A and B are shown apart, each in its own frame.
Chain A
Amino acid sequence: MKGNGVRQSMAWIHGWLGLIAGWILFAMFLTGTASYFRPEITRWMQPELAATPVSPDRAAQSAVDHLQAISPDDELWSLFLPDDRTHATRIFSRARANPDPDAPPPPRRPELRLDPATGQPLTARETKGGEHFYRFHFQLQIPHPWGRWLAGLCAIFMLGAIISGVITHKRIFVDFFMLRWNKGQRSWLDAHNVSAVLALPFHAMITYTGLITLVLMYMPWPITANYAEPAAFHAEAFGEDPEVEPSGRHVPLVPIAPLVRAASAEWQGGRASRVFIHNPNDATATVTIVRHGADTLNARSASITYSGADGRRLSASPAQGAGLATAGVMLGLHVGWFAGPALRWTYFLLGLTGTTMVGTGLLLWTAKRRKGATPFFGFRLVERLNIGAIACLPAGMAAFLLANRLIPANMAGRADMEVAAMFWTWFGLAALSLLRPARRAWTQCLTIAAVAFAAVPLVNALTTDRGLPESLVTGDGLFIGFDLAMIAIATLLGFGAWRASRVPAVITRKRTARPPVLSPAPEMADAA
């Protein structure tokens, strides 16, 4: 474990941190990277919806009109307004609890998705959409709160691995220019170093800010040191939660669109993204309007609260000091809402670099231990888990998209079936791959993943009227981009499969003069 120097001890701990958390981190990085296109994935997964851009004030009004018709006496209406990337108004409403304390609490209502123009429920296939990848990347499909804790543990391991990796790797900027292909272990080390160093500020940022996104859960103790009631911190930091007892005196809710326009004017044209209406149609009604996170780098957006009875401006979220603003900007940097299309693609590519860094680190572990001795149990375990994570997860993600097109659009429970398709494919393929020798398993799993991604544009063209030819004719940028991205991913996976199948290439290169310790065994290329 411990050599004499700090570099030896850091190299040791870097290896263990990466090994223990690597597979989960790989999945978190890959699904998190996909989440930069969360609204776009959701739109792709509901191809029957046409885009009709509607201003936030009109969308808010149409949603409130709908809620007035179906449940005017609720306790809370939460509206998530559409923007240029989403084309539905999402609504969560909460019924007032029965005043009788013995009565069961009112059942939680499902999310409602409305057409922003008409305020009528959208009729589209049921799906979790991009939300699924997003949720998975920090909840890992494990019941609350354990998934979030496990993700947090992996993230702190990642932070430790980054710091120890930097200390280990003193020649960090020299190796930046060193990528030696076809040199077995040396190549994996180079690939690991290049992908890590290339985007080191991004990796460090995304890991630290990822921890910050859930800091209130992971590290609430600074709050308890300063506040007897945690709610007081939330009020001071983010504004009062105007949850008050209803008076029981009926006062119709004021029109909502003028309030949204007033808030927007106060933000010098900043857009509204969320509206929370407490006690609608009561004398105590309040309307809290939250600014869109894409307007500022700080994702803890400003909000303004109005009276719902007469439209008076009641309060606004407090100005943030340096510390809170830092935390808000960290959150903003992680979620990337502020990023326009070019920056979002940059985020996406950097996220893939992070995925590559984790993946090549895992492959390096096996490449290092492959030479000579008979493979021991731990080696086989790591190699099989590498195949299961790196080659089989992408196949599962493709299966999720394919299931969206292949499960009948009006089938009950189809959203959960799509999710099930991802996990059955992922873990099923990983289990099946155990039947094959490791090198074949790499080639075949990567091939299956490549074919699955290549099938997405085809199945889309066969099952919808928004295939690539039609999208090109109508200039449907989202669907063109999605199809091209699927083809690019399939090509990348196909390239991986081809490299994994090419063993002899490495043997022929063995003659190059190198110290024997670095010379790769013939099977080395199976991870290539």
Chain B
Amino acid sequence: MTGRAVRTHMVARCATALVGGYAAAAGIASLIARLLPVPRVEATAWGMILSFLIYACFGLWAFHQPRLSVVAAVIWGSAALSIAALFLLGVRA
């Protein structure tokens, strides 16, 4: 790869880790909050507590997996799927 391609890849990887990782963590934490079979106030607390751990794991993994396409697919995919699921489920009654 040329120097420019390397740089573009690195920028994409950082953006995926930072922004995509946040979106995926927010989506999955919210899904936990939405689906955990405990009172909603409790489930909300657990979702918020776990969110930063999920974010950190996505962020670190983004720099471990050598293939950027895999990183992007998994992180942006998790974000899109979890957020889509939340929209389909709607707010807890």
Contacts and interface: CB of A to CB of B under 8 A. Distances in A.
Task: Please classify the interface of chain B as helix (H, G, I), strand (E, B), loop, or mixed, using the class held by over half of its residues.
Answer: helix
B41 A233 contact: yes
A237 interface: yes
Contact of B48 (A1, A219, A322): A219
A323 B38 contact: yes
Size band of the interface chain A makes with B = 35 or more
A212 B49 contact: yes
Interface stretch (A54-62, A87-95, A156-164, A420-428): A156-164
Interface in A202-225: 208, 211-212, 215-216, 218-219, 221-225
Contacts of B29: 219, 221-222
Contact of B92 (A1, A226, A330): A226
Contacts of B66: 2
A490 to B, nearest CB: 37
Given A215-B48, A227-B91, A330-B49, A222 B33 contact: yes
B91 A156 contact: no
Nearest to A159: B56
A9 B43 contact: no
B86 interface: yes
B38 to A, nearest CB: 7
A462 interface: no
A228 interface: yes
Interface string B41-54: 11111111101110
B26 to A, nearest CB: 4
A20 B1 CA distance: 26
Contact of B41 (A215, A216, A321, A326): A321
B44 A160 contact: no
B55 to A, nearest CB: 6
25 contacts: A1-B10, A2-B66, A9-B63, A156-B52, A156-B59, A160-B60, A208-B53, A211-B52, A215-B49, A219-B48, A219-B52, A221-B27, A222-B44, A222-B48, A222-B51, A223-B33, A224-B91, A226-B34, A228-B91, A233-B44, A321-B45, A323-B46, A324-B41, A326-B49, A327-B49
Interface of B: 10, 25-27, 29-34, 38-49, 51-53, 55-57, 59-60, 63-64, 66, 86, 89, 91-92
Given A221-B29, A321-B38, A323-B42, 13 more contacts: A13-B63, A13-B64, A156-B59, A160-B59, A208-B52, A219-B25, A222-B43, A223-B33, A226-B34, A233-B41, A236-B40, A323-B43, A324-B41
Interface of A: 1-2, 6, 9-10, 12-13, 156, 159-160, 163-164, 208, 211-212, 215-216, 218-219, 221-228, 233, 236-237, 321-324, 326-327, 330
